[in-house]
């Protein structure tokens, strides 16, 4: 089978591609045991165990995600996560103490914390990538704080000035920043969205907004004209779920299906109606069970997303992995003492 490079790429080439689907083997009953133990121990230890809980969660999901019979691995040290969280907590405590004594400078302190966002983003993405591996080859993320500052400081300020109208372009910049600065071993990822990407992102958000407005209007008519308050509420809720699902599916499909790793390409085929049903049914199940079906909902969503993700490989994945392993060994790159500063990113 062959596949053509996306329209708009600098050079159109036809390669022989092999389709390798992602698989997820996790089960709700297995994950529930991990999840409930994590909650109990986190409560008992007043949050200290949350670092170990995060590692156990990720190791379960990564370990049950397979590509050509090989699982992904999450290699993070819980102590590094705890160190990062302690640092962030310490900053907030210091900010709170200073603000209580000098309340007039609270705004300045928060602005300084906002200016530190590029450092937080880069360190968090570095930590996540460097602690993820497949076939014993680590992923990578390399970006300068200046590059992150343009995306995560300059553009949020511009969004405020532009009343949020540039958000689709901001979303595109974020996705391009993360993809283009990531890599697998020594091979970088590349977002080849050259055919008017801004128009595509705006199209997704405008369509979702129109969808939400249509159902909102139907709900308002049901309430004000027909007096059907429950029907009106359901219409509005359905519009919100459909709009969320539309954005999630179309942005994911747009980004993943134009992400390349060397000569290998990813493809995502999520469907809006299926994603909307998952959002709605998962939310309903979690609410009705007071949160006990959160593991079931997480497994369902992960299984669906990965079932719709495919890696199109030129040639043989084993040969590519072997060459990457040799290249990484040749660079002598070691895992530095990164600590997790995710801080809700």
The whole-number pLDDT of residue 199 equals 94
Which residues, in sequence order, are bridge partners of residue 258? none
Q: 């049914």: which residue's tokens? A: 281
Quote the pTM value. 0.86
Bin 134: left if φ > 0, else alpha if -120 < ψ < 50, else beta: beta
The whole-number pLDDT of residue 337 equals 47
Residue span of the structural domain in which 222 resides = 193-257+271-307
The CA R_g of the chain, rounded to the nearest whole Å, is 22
The whole-number pLDDT of residue 330 equals 55
Instruction: Let me know if residue 293 belongs to a domain.
Output: yes
**Structural domains counted in the chain:** 1
Instruction: Let me know if residue 228 belongs to a domain.
Output: yes
Distance CA 173, CA 117 (A): 16
Instruction: Let me know if residue 212 belongs to a domain.
Output: yes
The whole-number pLDDT of residue 218 equals 87
> Which stretches in the chain have pLDDT values below 70?
1-15, 225-228, 324, 326-345
Q: Residue 128's closest CA among 143, 150, 113?
A: 143
Instruction: Let me know if residue 106 belongs to a domain.
Output: no
Distance CA 31, CA 131 (A): 21
The whole-number pLDDT of residue 287 equals 95
Instruction: Let me know if residue 330 belongs to a domain.
Output: no
Distance CA 67, CA 248 (A): 23
The whole-number pLDDT of residue 210 equals 94
The whole-number pLDDT of residue 7 equals 44
User: pLDDT tens-digit profile of 163-211?
Assistant: 999 999 999 999 999 999 999 988 999 999 878 899 999 999 999 999 9
Which residues, in sequence order, are bridge partners of residue 17? 314
Q: Residue 300's closest CA among 319, 318, 281, 313?
A: 281
What is the rounded average pLDDT for all residues in the chain?
87
Tell me the helices (H) and strands (E) count for the chain, helix number first.
Answer: 13, 11
* Torsion of the alpha carbons at 253, 256, 258 and 262, rounded to the nearest 10: -160
Instruction: Let me know if residue 49 belongs to a domain.
Output: no
Instruction: Let me know if residue 21 belongs to a domain.
Output: no
The whole-number pLDDT of residue 329 equals 57
Q: Six-digit token pair at 264? A: 């290998």
The whole-number pLDDT of residue 54 equals 94
Instruction: Let me know if residue 227 belongs to a domain.
Output: yes
């Amino acid at each position: 089978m062959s596949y053509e490079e996306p329209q708009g790429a600098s050079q159109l080439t036809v390669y022989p591609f092999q389709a390798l689907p992602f698989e997820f083997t996790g089960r709700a009953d297995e994950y529930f045991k991990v999840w409930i133990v994590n909650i109990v121990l986190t409560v008992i230890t007043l949050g200290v165990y949350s670092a170990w809980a995060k590692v156990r969660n990720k190791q379960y999901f990564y370990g049950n995600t397979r590509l050509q019979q090989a699982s992904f691995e999450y290699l993070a040290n819980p102590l590094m996560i705890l160190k990062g969280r302690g640092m962030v907590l310490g900053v907030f405590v210091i900010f709170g103490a200073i603000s209580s004594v000098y309340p007039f400078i609270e705004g300045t302190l928060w602005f300084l914390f906002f200016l530190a966002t590029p450092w937080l983003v880069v360190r968090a993405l570095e930590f996540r990538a460097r602690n993820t591996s497949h076939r014993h080859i680590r992923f990578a993320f390399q970006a300068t704080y200046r590059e992150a500052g343009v995306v995560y400081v300059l553009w949020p300020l511009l969004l405020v000035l532009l009343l949020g109208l540039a958000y689709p372009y901001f979303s595109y910049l974020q996705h391009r920043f993360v993809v283009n600065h990531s890599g697998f071993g020594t091979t970088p990822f590349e977002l080849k969205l050259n055919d008017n990407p801004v128009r595509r992102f705006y199209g997704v958000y405008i369509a979702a907004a129109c969808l939400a407005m249509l159902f909102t209007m139907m709900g308002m008519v049901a309430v004000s004209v027909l007096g059907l308050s429950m029907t009106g509420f359901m219409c509005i809720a359905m519009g919100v779920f459909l709009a969320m699902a539309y954005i999630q599916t179309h942005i994911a499909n747009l980004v993943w299906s134009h992400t390349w790793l060397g000569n290998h390409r990813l493809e995502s085929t999520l469907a809006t109606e299926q994603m909307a049903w998952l959002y709605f049914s998962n939310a309903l199940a979690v609410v009705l069970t007071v949160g006990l079906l959160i593991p079931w909902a997480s497994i369902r969503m992960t299984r669906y997303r990965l079932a719709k993700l495919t890696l199109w490989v030129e040639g043989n994945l084993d040969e590519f992995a072997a060459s990457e392993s040799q290249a990484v060994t040749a660079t002598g790159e070691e895992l530095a003492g990164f600590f997790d500063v995710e801080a809700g990113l």
